Structure 1
Amino acid sequence: MVFTTRAGGASASPYDSFNLGDHVGDDPAAVAKNRARLARAVGLKDVVYMEQLHTNTVTVVDGPQPVAVPATDALVTTRPRLGLAVLVADCTPVLLADATAGVAAAAHAGRMGARNGIVRKTVATMVDLGARPDRIQVLLGPAAAGRNYEVPAAMAADVEAHLPGSRVKTTRGTDGIDVRAGLVRQLLELGVTAIEADPRCTIEDTDFFSHRRDGVTGRQAGLIWLERLETNG
């Protein structure tokens, strides 16, 4: 499991410099260089990306894809050495794996996707492929923290109704959403207990791209893959 920052790439401002998103207006050649560098850095030949639309659609992939998988916000695979990438700039990147069953997943949990059950559906898809909730390990990456994620009161109430545990107060005393907190509670209710959450906030930490902070900006990635299991001949 890997999370990138915005440092060390080929993109120019305002996408400087390790932008991995090909949908934000950056030079396609720079994005291609950055994606190739990421693959080399982790030793993978193939990395699958998504056309993320804040849906709750989960797609199972079993091999390389010539283009981003259309209209999906989670990828699940049982194929070793196939990288699954999720792109974010405040949304929560969620990486999941059951190493015993050989099932891995990457989910894009923005406010709407999290509200509408993208992580719940991802876990269900993993279980369909042989994973068990009590064996699934989850890592939630850097994202907008509740202390800085200010939203209207009605929106906070709506998300809380669908993702309990997500409604918070910001440092200003206004209504906010902590997507990671809501997802941790949801995962625990699903029987997933091996959960780690990176506490860093993309809005306040300039090591990361943040749409809320900067508007036009790049995207960092969460990346997960399965290694081949050793077998004794």
Structure 2
Amino acid sequence: MRPRRVITTRAGGRSVAPFATFNLSAGVGDDPAAVAANRARASRELGIPLVFLKQVHGTTVATVDTVPEPGEPDRPDTDAVVTALPGVGIAVLAADCVPVLLADPGAGVVGAAHAGRVGAAAGVVPATVAAMEALGARRRAIEVLLGPAICGSCYEVPAAMQAEVDAALPGSAVRTRAGTPGLDLRAGIYHQLTALGVGKVGADLRCTNEEPTLYSHRGDGPTGRQAAITWLHQD
């Protein structure tokens, strides 16, 4: 089995402004019928059922051990998910937060985490690694993709907030393009993963605030969410 990963964009869906057009979140005020159609298309195009989460910026990790039914409700109050089931896509949604996709190809285990400022500082990524280990993954064999997120040059925060997050997530404090206090959550998560002994960490360095094909909550206000999806593909 080989792990596969996909990051969706704004293009190709049924949603209308301000969610245009391929919004995959059921929690941002979009027409539920449009979201359902977009999710059905994503599932159809990938050829796999998809599991979505009702994300709350926490550290709860769900384990998927049964194939989801079409239209199954989002897993409640959950910000990460792991599975060893082949052919089941696990998804996290983001529009500035860091979507984190993880896989141990040898063990046949994949994971996905939604790591915003609060969840990343609270430890959602280490919790996801631990849940993968419970399914047989080995952290030195885990490969990680840090998906598109708002970059440190754009993510301005108050100095006190920056200090608080950097204390929990060392390496995340930066200066923005304007010279003000900022956060680079991808950098902080990278340091967190390497400190855990995770074997390989890469990043999609697109900034959601700068890339018009991606949703950005900070840049666009009310808007949709793209998905980061991973699954185990049977050869």
Question: Which residue of structure 2 lines up, in the alignment, with residue 51 of structure 1?
Answer: 54
Question: Which residue of structure 2 lines up, in the alignment, with residue 155 of structure 1?
Answer: 161
Q: Aligned to 1:126, which of 132, 136, 141?
A: 132
Q: Unpaired segments of 5 or more residues in structure 2?
A: none
* Shift in Å, 1:137: 0.8
Question: Which residue of structure 1 lines up, in the alignment, with residue 40 of structure 2?
Answer: 36
TM-score, length of structure 1 as denominator length: 0.96
Q: Unpaired segments of 5 or more residues in structure 1?
A: none
TM-score, length of structure 2 as denominator length: 0.95
CA distance in 1, matches of 2:52, 2:83: 13
CA distance in 1, matches of 2:233, 2:215: 29
Paired letter, 2:52: Y
* Shift in Å, 1:106: 0.7
Question: Which residue of structure 2 lines up, in the alignment, with residue 62 of structure 1?
Answer: 65
Is 2:143 the partner of 1:137? Answer: yes
Deviations 1:82-138 (A, max 9, x none): 110100010000000111111111100000000000001100111121101111110
* Shift in Å, 1:193: 2.9
Percent identity over paired residues: 57
Question: Which residue of structure 2 lines up, in the alignment, with residue 194 of structure 1?
Answer: 200
* Shift in Å, 1:205: 1.1
CA distance in 1, matches of 2:78, 2:23: 20
Question: Which residue of structure 1 lines up, in the alignment, with residue 215 of structure 2?
Answer: 209
- RMSD, aligned CA: 0.9
- Greater than 6 Å deviation, 4+ residue runs: none
Deviations 1:33-91 (A, max 9, x none): 111111111111x1000010000111111121621111010001111111101000100
CA distance in 2, matches of 1:155, 1:33: 39
CA distance in 1, matches of 2:98, 2:111: 14
Paired letter, 2:190: V
Deviations 1:8-49 (A, max 9, x none): 1111111000100111111111111111111111111x1000
Q: Aligned to 2:25, which of 1, 21, 27?
A: 21
CA distance in 1, matches of 2:94, 2:10: 11
CA distance in 2, matches of 1:147, 1:25: 29
Q: How many pairs are equivalent?
A: 228
Three-state SS of the structure 1 residue aligned to 2:40 is: helix
Question: Which residue of structure 2 lines up, in the alignment, with residue 92 of structure 1?
Answer: 98
Paired letter, 2:223: T
Paired letter, 2:16: A
Question: Which residue of structure 1 lines up, in the alignment, with residue 88 of structure 2?
Answer: 82
CA distance in 2, matches of 1:133, 1:23: 33
Paired letter, 2:85: R
Q: Aligned to 1:6, which of 7, 10, 13?
A: 10
